[in-house]
Structure 1
Amino acid sequence: MNEHNQPSTPAHYVLHYYPSPNSLKVIILLQELGLDWEGRYVDLATGEQLTQTFAVLNPNRKVPVLESSNGDVVFESGAILEFLAQRHGAFMGANEAERWQCKQWLYWQMSALGPIGGQAHHFNKFAPEKVPYAIRRYTDESNRLYGVLNERLSQVPWLGGSYSIADMAVWPWLVHADWQGQSVSDFPALAAWYDAMQLRAAVAAAWASYPTREIAAEDYGILLNQRADVLKPG
């Protein structure tokens, strides 16, 4: 490594992914940075993520995971975004104030929009039984979070001030707004930002290469009701 923590030779990256917002956000950054990378599909429906081979890469047995030809292995999508942005010196704000804004909104996505949106996806679309309270709870909270985004984006063009990994982290979670019982068009500032994201060449390229797939109902059970037993070697 040199003094800026950059590899001495350009790295080749491997992204272990499944079609999901968390994988898509990393694909967008890889495209924005113009890096040399390849994707390796992890079949969650068959439990590939639960194997001991995959556990070596991520003890939490989730995607995405990033490997580099320099020996780096990074899991958790927010950490991957920070790793790549810092390693390549881009998309983390133009100054210290923007860097902290970027981090705040990145962590907001990781702690709020992602978990709440994921629960809204589950109870609105995938749960084997309808649970009215859960549907209302996560749909309403998603609506509140969209309002938070709209408020922020009525003040600034991008979440961190300048375009950053915070924007890349949030956009994929709005692609299926209908699964959360929402419409982006109901929030004018958010809608303008959403359209601006779609106009970026890297976002368009990431979406065009994104292998959208919904897990069949008969295969979905492997993702539900997992307990500590799945951590034990087979």
Structure 2
Amino acid sequence: MSKPITLYGHAGGPNPWKVVIFLEELGIAYDMKIMDFGDLKKEPYESINPNGRVPAIEDPNTGIQVWESGAIIDYLIETYDKSGKFATKSSQDKWTARALRDFQMSGQGPYTGQKVWFTKFHPEKVPSAVERYGKETVRNIGVIEKQLKKSGGSYLLGNDISYADLMFVPWYWYNAITVPEGTDLDKEFPSWSAWYQKLSERPSVKKAAADRTKAMGG
């Protein structure tokens, strides 16, 4: 029997919960350690992740440590997806999924994160930054809308779910903060809306969302 993987995360940030979704999807035992921000940029945690951020994992079954959510998800699929749940059907699908994975980490995550920062945490009000990152958040949703129409199915690669689909979910939990007021996502992006609702109903996503709410004291 496999030993539980240790997942280091914190309550609010989306990226650790992205990993939780995949741990749940693949049926992998895990223990999540909610870290204090003050402990991230010092030892012993920096020996696991020299960047001093979450998530990171330690796998006692292989002795491997991995940090950065994309790399962790790659590792979990390569190591534990024995049934090929997230296997792609063609070379085109393989590289489309990889492109979407990279878009999530280089587009959706950073722009959405900056919108949250300038809306909630930046010590000075910078309306131009709030406006810019709000528009980019919506533009990125538009990219997903286009890909869904291109795929012709319920998911980004067609009618079968891919790992790329699930990687986008936790950042959308911030839509109330990141999407500019007055934007009707359901009306402007109907394919995205149906896709996101379908993903939100998956047991793995429900579990991650509920655990996050509990960790945040909700």
TM-score by length of 1: 0.81
Distance 1:41 1:95, change over 3 A: same
How many residues are matched? 204
> Secondary structure at the residue paired with 1:154?
helix
Aligned-pair distance for 1:124?
Answer: 1.6
C-alpha contact (below 8 Å) 1:15/1:66 kept by paired residues: yes
2:216 alignment counterpart:
213
> Secondary structure at the residue paired with 2:44?
helix
Distance 1:184 1:159, change over 3 A: same
Distance 1:184 1:126, change over 3 A: farther
Identity of aligned residues (%): 33
1:20-50 superposed Cα distances (whole Å, 9 cap, x missing partner): 1101110000000011111011111xx1101
Aligned-pair distance for 1:11?
Answer: 4.6
2:27 alignment counterpart:
34
1:158 alignment counterpart:
155
Aligned-pair distance for 1:92?
Answer: 4.1
Aligned-pair distance for 1:142?
Answer: 1.2
2:112 to 89, 111, 117: 117
Q: Check if 1:77 corresponds to 2:81.
A: no
1:167 alignment counterpart:
165
Q: Distance in 2 between matches of 1:97 and 1:11?
A: 36
What letter corresponds to residue 121 of structure 2 in structure 1? F
Distance 1:164 1:28, change over 3 A: same
1:3-28 superposed Cα distances (whole Å, 9 cap, x missing partner): xxxxxx63521100112110111000
Q: How does 1:1-234 map to 2 (within 5 A)?
A: 10-19=2-11, 20-44=13-37, 47-69=38-60, 70-89=62-81, 90-156=85-151, 157-161=154-158, 162-182=160-180, 184-185=185-186, 186-210=188-212, 211=214, 213=216
Q: Distance in 1 between matches of 2:175 and 2:39?
A: 28
Q: Which runs of 5+ in 1 are unaligned?
A: 1-8, 215-234
Q: Distance in 2 between matches of 1:160 and 1:105?
A: 10
> Secondary structure at the residue paired with 2:57?
strand
Root-mean-square deviation (Å) = 1.7
C-alpha contact (below 8 Å) 1:15/1:40 kept by paired residues: yes
1:55-82 superposed Cα distances (whole Å, 9 cap, x missing partner): 0000000000011112110000000011
> Secondary structure at the residue paired with 1:52?
coil
What letter corresponds to residue 48 of structure 2 in structure 1? L
Q: Which runs of 5+ in 2 are unaligned?
A: none
TM-score by length of 2: 0.87
1:179-230 superposed Cα distances (whole Å, 9 cap, x missing partner): 112454242111100110011111112212224539xxxxxxxxxxxxxxxx
Distance 1:184 1:11, change over 3 A: farther
